[in-house]
Amino acid sequence: MASRVCQQHREEPEDIERIRERLHKMSDLELRQYGRAARDLANPKKNYGPPNPAFQVQLDEARAEWRRRHPK
């Protein structure tokens, strides 16, 4: 799944609406896998150098989608 997040790596951040649309179509399992991969890519301790801020956006959107599906 990390490859799916990596494939989204671009110089310009991806449109947030496109990220939300893609996440909305994922199953819960796919969303969890995507979120874990985004978390790893956004973690500066697991990367050599500062991470791309686009990964943090993807992680934030994945968390928001999860909270939307599973409110406390």
Domain that holds residue 60: 2-69
**Structural domain count of the chain:** 1
pTM value is 0.78
Per-residue pLDDT reduced to its tens digit, 3-44: 455 454 444 557 899 999 999 999 999 999 999 999 999 998
Q: Are 5 and 34 in contact (CB under 8 A)?
A: yes
Q: Are 63 and 22 in contact (CB under 8 A)?
A: no
CA atoms within 13 A on the CB side of 26: 21
Rg (CA), the chain: 12
